Amino acid sequence: MILTVTLNTALDITYRVRSLRPHASHRVTDVTERPGGKGLNVARVLAALGHRVTVTGFAGGTTGHVVREGLTGLHGVSDALVPCAGATRRTIAVVDERTGDTTQLNEPGPAVAPAEWSAFLESYGDLLPGASAVALCGSLPPGVPVGAYAGLVRTARAAGVPVLLDTSGEPLRRGVAARPDMIKPNADELAELTGSHEPLRATQAARRRGARSVVASLGAEGLLAVTPEGRWRAAPPAHVRGNPTGAGDSAVAGLLSGLVEHLPWPDRLARAVALSAATVLAPVAGEFDRAAYEELLGRGVAVTTEAGAA
């Protein structure tokens, strides 16, 4: 079982409009709702790849109920979300059908009480012994300590469970110091963490701060991985255009599934890039286009060795 942690779960709502214009009324041509938040997106993709997944984090209020109802229909996904009094947030993605661009609106999430945080920590500790790997994903809701991920990384490491951290800002800085097995920042998050805007230099600096392996997401340029085994760049065979919501989460699912399947790094990166691109091509946030994924893998994601020592 793979465990994904989404402390700030969400109900992802995608609106499609013919053309998005500021200061104007719009007629929505299509609307979809899905359980969301980074870790839930990761879980959905992992389950589609055939892995058993347990999701945990917080869910509360009417929106939280809708999220949990949505999880019941996901084959291979088990719900271990912890109840909270506050209402789970919503995220709104507005897709401009004319340009293909997406505008994202993210609510902050519910305030988590100390007793609710304690209940989560107890549940997390109970789930770890049955996990082959754990992903800690996304933002922290109000009330959760800023060093929360650092503590969760240390708990996973003490249990002997490999841990991937995917967050940003101060939670990432503190979490890296706890020595996670892998982090997956984007270019902006990596620059904020290290102070360097040059991706290779920044990934090396992130490793020195404590991460065993760093896989940087560089948007259309694919992934850059710096690991104890070596370093690689991986890119899709062609630029893809569409809705990028959830693309980074699909990359995390590819990396995590490759980890538990003991794939070599080039194969993990090829899978992650193909899944990420196939998610951009999917019409709904947090899903991936399976035909596009298989075609991208078949056409060959370019994975090249980066010169120099790891």
Q: Report the candidate in 68, 109, 72 with the shortest Cα–Cα distance to residue 90.
A: 109
Residue 232 structure tokens:
């690689």
Residue type, 110: P
Question: Can you tell me the distance from the alpha carbon of 220 to that of 186, in angstroms, rounded to the nearest whole number?
Answer: 11
Question: Can you tell me the distance from the alpha carbon of 290 to that of 157, in angstroms, rounded to the nearest whole number?
Answer: 33
249 is catalytic: yes
The gap between the terminal CA atoms of the chain, to the nearest Å, is 31
Taking each helix axis from N to C end, the angle separating 187-194 and 199-208, rounded to the nearest 10 degrees, works out to: 50
> HEC profile for 264-307?
CHHHHHHHHHHHHHHHHCCCCCCCCCHHHHHHHHHHCCEEEECC
User: Collapsing DSSP states into helix, strand and coil, what is residue 104?
Assistant: strand
Cβ neighbours for 159, distance < 8 A, ≥ 6 positions apart: 128, 129
Catalytic residue, chosen from 79, 166, 249, 289, is: 249
Residue 306 structure tokens:
């980066």
Write out the catalytic residue numbers. Answer: 249
